[in-house]
Structure 1
Amino acid sequence: MGSTVFERNRPDASTVRHALSGTRQAVFWTEDAPGDAYPTLTGDISCDLVVVGGGYSGLWTALLAKRENPAARVVLLEARRIGWAASGRNGGFCEASLTHGEENGRSRFPAEFDQLQRLGMRNLDEIEATVAELGLDAGFERNGAIDVATEQRQVEWLREAAASDGAAAASDGAAEAADGQAAAAAPSSSPTPTARFLDGDAVRAEVHSPTYLAGLLRTRDSALVHPAKLARALARACVDAGVEVFEHSPVLSIGDGTVIETPHGVVRAERTTLATNVFPSLLKRNRLATVPVYDYVLMTEPLTDAQLASIGWSGRQGIGDSANQFHYYRLSQDNRILFGGYDAIYHYGGRVRERYEDRPETFARLASHFFTTFPQLDGLRFSHRWAGAIDTCSRFCAFFGTARGGKVAYATGYTGLGVAATHFGARVMLDLLAGRTTERTELEMVRSRPLPFPPEPAASIGINLTRWSLDRADHADGRRNLFLKGLDAVGLGFDS
């Protein structure tokens, strides 16, 4: 079994200890974006639409519903604070992909993958337009992203991806020429290839790391946001549009979909949308459809001008490497580096618990990998460390549906790629509740469901065996073992 660059080129242990010595267990984003406080629901009210969940999925749903029908009474219920969970603590990568990347999308939805790519790009364009139109203070930067190869076998993968993008762009150009309306709705989704292969010298000219062997520069299908600022700006936009927002109002039950119970009040609604994502579903049918997997993040102190010059990164793109257990990293608006990923931890029983957020061995591993990536930053400290739970489903991208005779709609299972996709999911839920037949609702992706996870102990055994096998593949030139090949054969495989 081979080794990875992060094992071949480990930094000194003293470098890691120093960097972590003053780190606090706290979410930088939420500390950096104090939000408005909203009242708790007390008493009984009636409305046209109640939205359960105050993350991106719920906020986009409430805002879009109100903009679609300003006369409708829309109520949003959040169990704790707006954006306190995944929406306020993610990496801030706002990706166009609706399918968790090309490989996952092509393998699961081959007949409609190109359509999903087009809809995903249009979705990102719509988010950018809304941020500009409403003047949302969300740190939105459409700088693109770089996928980097840190092992020789990954270089060819990126070269093939660049060639595939060029072919897809030619196909998209022909399709958009036949659909002037689509081209007008998404003018930046041009037939020009949006991905360019970078050899070692070229990628290190963009961002200097001795680990980089090649890169894929994606110019239009990715943006960055400040996660907590986006959530809190959306909440303010909701209120400005007339949405009634309530915090500390957990939903206890949804009855037949029209009577929504909270500890101190009841909402009687014509329609309900569920945007609870990683938390236990209020619908029994979805209880085994997702599991919470914990992701971990470090945030550095602000870099000095000299430190920033030593790594370049003037384009401020988001970066992710190409392993199965991958890292993602980006610059904040004040030039800190967020560095996360690699470990993805599932806990027996599939519970969401605050104590799972502090995992010293993972933070030490991330710190070590950070200084392998950027050895010139030796001496830099991390100011914050945190974690959050991702709502993972077996197909690794969102699924949708209705319940209670069409009175309830849901979208969940974004698997860590929901910053942009939740906007698309909000539109799907509103289409479904209205009974509209649209391009979105006709998608196989929308009409189908993922296979559920098995109950314990099978879930824990299977998930942890998958993670172990992916790690082994990273140490074996990408070769997948029999277990992973079996998952691929039945449509449950994962390739980041």
Structure 2
Amino acid sequence: MGRALSLRRPGRDRPYDRLSLWHDTAGDDWTPRAALPGDTDADVAIVGAGYTGLWTAHYLAEADPTLRIVVLEAEVAGYGASGRNGGWCSALFPASLDKLAAASGREAALAQHAAMRATVDEVARVARAEGIDADLAHGGTITVARTGAQWRRARAEVEHARSWGRGEDDLRLLDRREATAVLDATGTRGATYTPDCMAIHPAKLVRGLARAVERRGVTIHERTRVTAIEPGLARTKHGTVRAGTVVRATEGYTPSLAGERRTLAPVYSLVIATAPLPADVWDRIGLARRETFTDHRHLIVYGQRTADDRLVFGGRGAPYHLGSRVRPGFDHDEKVFASLYDAMTTLFPVLAGTRVTHAWGGALGIPRDWCASVGLDRATGLAWAGGYVGDGVSTTNLAGRTLRDLVLGRDTELTRLPWVGHRSRAWEREPLRWLGINIGLRAMTLADAEESLTRQPSLAARAVGPLIGG
């Protein structure tokens, strides 16, 4: 490409603005807030100052300003996936309608889908109300099909949507001419398109949320790592927060908590970003309304056009690390960055030789059954939300509103959604967990290569799909 330019990695002084393009361009000095000064009492303690924790704090403080809410963060607000993701605020939910319906019925599954669609607009509403300029662009998502097998999957996806009563206002099929008018990727045969997605600047959103909840009286303590969550307690080296409700909002970092090693598997997604591209290049690529984009391959890739005309392009492919380890060094994998660059320039040959200014990664949380969940155990006062499998920008907002209702004891449409109270079984013990996850990742890579050679749907993907949430 020559090669992706990895940012200087954060050192012992934790220069948070070096973590990603988003951190670098958030317009924030990232000065940490004060750590927990000692033992503290609260009504609600929230562990994690990412989207889940901050949305929960926002809606609780809005609903009941008398609540004493304390948010505890190991680094700084937006340090993790909330500040590093691909910038999609979409209606995607990791579990399919069929899976939800099998557990809770057809109407419940459709209610979950409708709630996700509405959540995209809710995120925009709160951003406007709180004066958060997060570079929002409601352009939807285009998913191109570039092989015969991908085109068959695209048509089948739309047919499946129609069987659920989902109309063209939800998901529609584009022919080659319609698809290339939106995004001119090589080899495009057609695409699917949904309007239910916004491109965002994730770090601007999460930092703006942190300031917004503080204006509502919420206390955020940063550089305060929680080591254990127990009924009525969140334990840290700085002291213990005693609270009637303790919310776990730690996503990919959940395995670091005592007793949670097998709750979620942290799997890495890596991202690269180009320098700002000139107008003539964008005229050739498209994305005039800043649509987010992907394609129908098996190993996920995703991208967006930023407000300052960069192309951000990410994907899976980095290995899962034995023992659910999460380390700063895992954020950078030059082989994966090079693969992303190759995939990007294959889609858009006009970008060959384009300079990459930022390259980064981060962990996302995957439950064993690939189904996100939210809930509150009233007997213990322990609440949780997570397992978004990379679809968390909007799902966290739905989680925050749902946790508000659960904590306040409300019976609402949100608390009756099928993901509420769902319990995924624990991941296998090591080394089975390491073997299974990495075999699944490798199989998806091979499945795309298989389809390129055979021009038929992958047998490998069909075999592995049920094991990885397919």
| TM-score using structure 2 length | 0.89
Q: In the alignment, what sits opposite 1:207?
A: 183
* SS of residue in 1 equivalent to 2:242: strand
Which amino acid letter does the alignment assign opposite residue 83 of structure 1? G
Aligned to 2:154: 158
Equivalent-residue separation in structure 2 for 1:224 and 1:101 (angstroms)? 23
Q: Which of residues 23, 30, 33 in structure 1 aligns to 2:23? A: 30
- For 1:327, the equivalent position in structure 2 comes to 301
> Partner residue of 1:195?
171
The residue correspondences of 1:474-485 to structure 2 (distance < 5 A) are 474=448, 475-476=450-451, 477-481=456-460, 485=463
Q: How has the CA–CA distance of structure 1 residues 360 and 409 changed in structure 2, closer, same or farther, with 3 Å as cutoff? A: same
| Aligned counterparts of 2:443 and 2:39: Cα–Cα separation in 1 | 52
The correspondence for 1:408, drawn from 374, 379, 382, is 382
Aligned residue identity for 2:361: A
2:75–2:225 Cα contact (<8 Å) kept: yes
Q: 1:159 touches 1:197 (CA, 8 Å); kept in 2?
A: yes
Within 2, Cα distance between the matches of 1:152 and 1:487? 19
1:447 Cα deviation after fit: 3.0
Q: Match of 1:295?
A: 269
What amino acid does structure 2 have at the position aligned with 1:27? S
User: Which residue of structure 1 lines up, in the alignment, with residue 125 of structure 2?
Assistant: 129
Task: Report the more deviating stretch, 208-217 or 415-424.
Answer: 208-217
Which of 118, 130, 143 is residue 114 of structure 2 equivalent to? Answer: 118
* Matched residue SS, 1:352: coil
- 1:366 and 1:282 map into 2 onto residues whose CA distance is 29
Select 2:417's aligned residue among 440, 443, 449.
443
User: Using the alignment, how far apart are the partners of 1:153 and 1:130 within structure 2?
Assistant: 40
Distance (whole Å) between structure 2 residues aligned to residue 222 and residue 128 of structure 1 = 11
1:20 aligns with 2:21: no
Amino acid at match of 2:206: A
Distance 1:344 1:485 in 2: 21
Q: Distance in 1 between matches of 2:274 and 2:96?
A: 28
SS at match of 1:210: coil
Q: 1:298 to 1:401 in 2, by over 3 A?
A: same
* Counterpart amino acid of residue 146 in structure 1: I
* 1:363 CA displacement: 0.9
Structure 1 counterpart of 2:188, which letter?
Answer: Y
Query: Partner residue of 2:94?
Result: 99
Per-residue deviation, 1:83: 0.3
Q: Cα gap change, 1:108/1:407 in structure 2, threshold over 3 Å: closer, same or farther?
A: closer
- Indicate yes or no: 2:43 matched with 1:48: yes
Report the Cα distance in structure 1 between the residues aligned to 2:347 and 2:465, rounded to whole angstroms.
32
Q: Structure 1 residues 118, 433: closer, same or farther in 2, change over 3 A?
A: same
The aligned counterpart of 1:145 is 141
- Cα distance in 1, alignment partners of residues 236 and 86 from structure 2: 31
Q: Which moved more, 1:144-153 or 1:395-404?
A: 395-404
Give distance in 1, aligned partners of 2:376 and 2:275: 45
TM-aligned CA distance change 1:104 to 1:464, over 3 Å: farther
The aligned counterpart of 2:72 is 77
Match of 1:314 among 275, 288, 296: 288
Q: Summarize the Cα distance change of 1:258–1:494 in structure 2 as closer, same or farther, 3 Å threshold.
A: closer
Question: How many Å apart are 1:268 and its aligned residue?
Answer: 2.3
Query: How far apart in 1 are the matches of 2:133 and 2:351?
Result: 30
Assess if the C-alpha contact under 8 Å between 1:23 and 1:382 holds in 2: no
Equivalences, count: 453
Shift of 1:157: 2.1
Partner of 2:12: none
Given that 1:148 and 1:213 are in contact with CA atoms closer than 8 Å, whether structure 2 keeps it comes out as yes
Matched, 1:57 2:32: no
Q: Which amino acid aligns with 2:112?
A: L
Cα distance change on mapping 1:104 and 1:229 into 2, 3 Å: farther
Pairwise CA distance, 1:377: 2.1
For the structure 1 residues 455 and 167, does the alpha-carbon distance in structure 2 shift closer, same or farther, using more than 3 Å as the test? closer
Q: Deviation at 1:108?
A: 6.5
Q: Kindly provide the CA deviation profile for residues 59-114 of structure 1, in whole angstroms up to 9, marking residues without a partner as x.
A: 00111110010111111111111101111000010111233555765676663321
Of 150-159 and 35-44, the range deviating more from structure 2: 35-44
- CA change 1:165–1:425 in 2 (3 A) is same
Partners in 2 of 1:342 and 1:107 — Cα distance? 28
Q: In 1, distance between residues paired with 2:110 and 2:94?
A: 11
Give the C-alpha shift of residue 356 in structure 1. 1.3
SS of residue matched to 1:254: strand
Q: Distance in 2 between matches of 1:128 and 1:395?
A: 30
Larger displacement relative to structure 2 (438-447 or 106-115)? 106-115
CA contact (8 A) 1:317 1:330 kept: yes
The aligned counterpart of 2:13 is none
Classify 1:152/1:479 alpha carbon distance in 2 versus 1 (closer, same or farther; 3 Å).
same
CA deviations 1:410-442 (Å, max 9, x no partner) are 112111111100111122333333343333333
For residues 386-422 of structure 1, give each alpha carbon's deviation from its aligned partner in whole angstroms, at most 9, with x where no partner exists. 1101111122231233358231101121111111001
Which AA in structure 1 matches 2:23?
Answer: T
Gaps of 5+ in 1: 1-15, 173-190
CA distance in 1, matches of 2:97, 2:341: 29
Q: 2: CA distance between counterparts of 1:264 and 1:372?
A: 50
Tell me the alpha carbon deviations over residues 113-152 of structure 1, each in whole angstroms, 9 at most, x when there is no partner. Answer: 2121111112222222211222212122211010111211
Distance 1:347 1:21, change over 3 A: closer
For 2:350 and 2:435, the matched residues in 1 are separated by 40
Structure 1 residue identity aligned to 2:301: H
Cα distance change, pair 405–106 in 1 and its aligned pair in 2 (3 A): closer
Q: For 1:236 and 1:362, how far apart are their aligned partners in 2? A: 35
1:279 Cα offset (Å)? 1.3
Structure 1 CA distance for aligned equivalents of residues 248 and 8 of structure 2: 33
Determine if contact 1:53/1:79 at 8 Å carries over to the other structure: yes
Counting aligned pairs with the same residue, the percent is 31
Q: Partners in 2 of 1:279 and 1:404 — Cα distance?
A: 24
**Whole-angstrom distance in 2 between the partners of 1:274 and 1:141:** 31
Give the AA of the match of 2:386: T
Post-superposition shift, 1:313? 2.0
Specify whether residues 478 and 284 from structure 1 end up closer, same or farther in structure 2 by C-alpha distance, changes over 3 A only.
Answer: farther
Equivalent residue letter for 1:20: A
Cα 1:135–1:66 shift into 2, 3 Å = same
SS of the aligned residue for 2:254 comes to coil
Alpha-carbon deviations, 1:309-365, whole Å to 9, x = none? Answer: 222221210001111102101011100000110414201111001111221111111
Distance in 2 separating the partners of 1:406 and 1:276: 19
Q: Deviations over 1:209-239 (max 9, x none)?
A: 22322111212x1111101001000001101
Residue matched to 1:363: 337
Matched to 2:4, the amino acid is: L
Mapped contact 2:47–2:226 kept (Cα < 8 A): yes
